[in-house]
Structure 1
Amino acid sequence: MAPARPLSLVTGASAGIGASFARALAARGHDLALTARRRERLESLAVELHQQHGCTVTVLAADLADPAAPKALCEELAQRGLAVDWLINNAGYGVPGSFAASDWRTHADFLQVLLNAPVELAWRLLPGMHERGYGRIVNVASLAGHVPGTAGHTLYAPAKVFLIKFSQGLALESRERGVHVCALCPGFTYSEFHDVTGTRTLMNKLPGFMWQNAGEVVAEGIAAVERGDAVHVTGRVNRLIKGMFKLMPDRLAFRLSARQGRRYRQAD
């Protein structure tokens, strides 16, 4: 049984899909713990959500590139007597350009945020969910995890593949204990992602039907994890793309992905 007011921890909550998750969950009657690097944005969102929905919002500014951050977040929540019922592992970004063009610190920080942090947060919070017999974990992956890799953003798709497989295994381990785990796989989504990576101009060349807004992605994600779906690709167009690449011979799929990727890749 879900608690009367579940507590949701949302990472990367200062903008985009993370902020949309916070708004949607607050509207569902959740209290929130929000984390991201930009405290001012989190505090502004906290005021907005409290005024609109009367929820309690805990702001925990943190940089998940710091290996100590996941443990510190969970310890801070425990010290405040807060038990997390929903974990939204949303924090993420892309590193544009070729693999060799960035220094190792850049790649190490990326892997910490997109791989280590979500896995550690799940590991730390899952036992409490099992004990209470209720929990929801959404790992925000990507359509990129279902199609061949392309040049540029070299680690992004592999990281998302990991989250998909991790979510599937965790879902199987936890479904009999009242905990649902879902890898949410959006395609192109209107957010700050491409502004941060400096690829907005290139992305604007994509046709409008390829895009979803963050609210649509979040609504699908909440419905999917509640249903118990271990993996959910958002949007009909994205599901069509996934199916198309799945049916293609590997060599053809790789060539098509490479050709399309060159059109939207930022040069080093």
Structure 2
Amino acid sequence: MADTRTFLITGASSGIGAQFARAYAQRGYNLILVARRLNRLQDLAAELTAKHGIAVTCLDADLSDRAQVKALVARIREMNLSPDGLINNAGYSLAHTFASTTTQQQMDFVEVCVMTPTYLAREFLDPMLARGFGRIINVSSMVAFSPGAAGHTLYPAAKAYMLKFSRSLAAEVAYKGVNVTALCPGSTESEFQTANGMAAAVGTSPSRFVQSAEAVVEAAIRANEAGREVIVTGLINKLAVFLMTYLPDGLVTPLIRWGAKKYQL
């Protein structure tokens, strides 16, 4: 159909990103899927096309490379595609301390988790405003509300940026048909801990502390459609955010730093 919406999803090869693809495909939207692992994108695209009859475009890009990000936007425009929705999901963490990582590792992290989402949002915002319709979900984290701890040094800062950026942008465009939401999940079923090398150290978390990607994504989509600026998923995560927000910093900081020790390499 000519009026079918198209959603761009980064980090779509697994976890929350892949679930966003499944959820929007089920709603009948066409998709632009972006990740480094093109073969996994193509497998997902085949699944979704067969099941839902939608159009799926798969594009590989290293989002830590600014030139590749600019080329990605150019490729999308050359195909006469203009996303109605943008899911800035791609991200990871560096579990080691700041001093034990290289400058390039930290700068790559900032590119993926801060610069690329900002760039994509700015590049695709104008057409959304012109159409009077747009949906942007920036994947942040409940750690955006934390005081930070040793290890994963820039992760809380990056996620706090995504939270504040989302709220500011939402304030600017909310009455122009564009909904912007910061998604702040806690532990979620994904390859996140495997990617950052923490799987063996952390072990298996109790199931009551881990949400399914499906639950997180459905909550995010409902919140975004309702025009909510921030969604913290899961009752335990909501309680944790409440405590981090309203308890005195002198109580919260020692607790967070004690609990975070097992998550540092």
TM-score under structure 2 normalisation? 0.97
Task: Write out per-residue CA displacement over residues 163-196 of structure 1, whole angstroms, 9 at most, x where no aligned residue.
Answer: 0000000001111110000000000011000011
- Structure-2 separation of matches of 1:266 and 1:114: 19
Is residue 168–residue 231 contact of structure 1 (8 Å, CA) maintained in 2?
yes
**Cross-structure match for 1:61:** 60
Is residue 134–residue 178 contact of structure 2 (8 Å, CA) maintained in 1?
yes
AA aligned to 2:231 is: H
AA aligned to 2:92 is: Y
- Structure-2 separation of matches of 1:210 and 1:74: 37
Q: CA RMSD in A?
A: 1.1
Deviation at 1:201, TM superposition (A): 2.7
**Cross-structure match for 1:10:** 9
Q: Is residue 188 of structure 2 the alignment partner of residue 189 of structure 1?
A: yes
TM-score under structure 1 normalisation? 0.96
- Structure-2 separation of matches of 1:5 and 1:120: 25
**Cross-structure match for 2:49:** 50
- Structure-1 separation of matches of 2:19 and 2:202: 21
Deviation at 1:9, TM superposition (A): 0.3
Task: Write out per-residue CA displacement over residues 11-59 of structure 1, whole angstroms, 9 at most, x where no aligned residue.
Answer: 0000000000000000001000000000100011110100000000001
Higher mean C-alpha deviation, range 71-80 or range 177-186: 71-80
**Cross-structure match for 2:90:** 91
Question: What is the DSSP-based 3-state SS (H/G/I as helix, E as strand, rest coil) of the residue aligned with 1:68?
Answer: helix
- Structure-2 separation of matches of 1:229 and 1:71: 30
Q: Is residue 84 of structure 2 the alignment partner of residue 102 of structure 1?
A: no
Task: Write out per-residue CA displacement over residues 248-268 of structure 1, whole angstroms, 9 at most, x where no aligned residue.
Answer: 111110011011111x2333x
Q: What is the count of residue pairs matched by the alignment?
A: 264
- Structure-2 separation of matches of 1:70 and 1:235: 33
Is residue 19–residue 213 contact of structure 2 (8 Å, CA) maintained in 1?
yes
AA aligned to 2:263 is: R
Any unmatched runs of 5+ in structure 1? Answer: none
Higher mean C-alpha deviation, range 179-188 or range 60-69: 60-69
AA aligned to 1:223 is: R
Deviation at 1:198, TM superposition (A): 1.3
Question: What is the DSSP-based 3-state SS (H/G/I as helix, E as strand, rest coil) of the residue aligned with 2:20?
Answer: helix
**Cross-structure match for 1:231:** 230
Deviation at 1:203, TM superposition (A): 2.9
**Cross-structure match for 1:266:** 264
Is residue 190–residue 213 contact of structure 2 (8 Å, CA) maintained in 1?
yes
Any unmatched runs of 5+ in structure 2? Answer: none
- Structure-2 separation of matches of 1:35 and 1:228: 25
Deviation at 1:205, TM superposition (A): 4.9
- Structure-2 separation of matches of 1:197 and 1:222: 27
Question: What is the DSSP-based 3-state SS (H/G/I as helix, E as strand, rest coil) of the residue aligned with 2:223?
Answer: helix
- Structure-1 separation of matches of 2:13 and 2:127: 26
Deviation at 1:71, TM superposition (A): 2.1
Identity of aligned residues (%): 44
- Structure-2 separation of matches of 1:202 and 1:227: 39
Question: What is the DSSP-based 3-state SS (H/G/I as helix, E as strand, rest coil) of the residue aligned with 2:25?
Answer: helix
Task: Write out per-residue CA displacement over residues 201-234 of structure 1, whole angstroms, 9 at most, x where no aligned residue.
Answer: 3333532211101111100010011010111111
Is residue 89–residue 139 contact of structure 1 (8 Å, CA) maintained in 2?
yes
Question: What is the DSSP-based 3-state SS (H/G/I as helix, E as strand, rest coil) of the residue aligned with 2:7?
Answer: strand
**Cross-structure match for 2:252:** 253
Deviation at 1:67, TM superposition (A): 0.6
Deviation at 1:97, TM superposition (A): 1.0
Is residue 152–residue 264 contact of structure 2 (8 Å, CA) maintained in 1?
no
Matches within 5 A, 1:65-214: 65-214=64-213
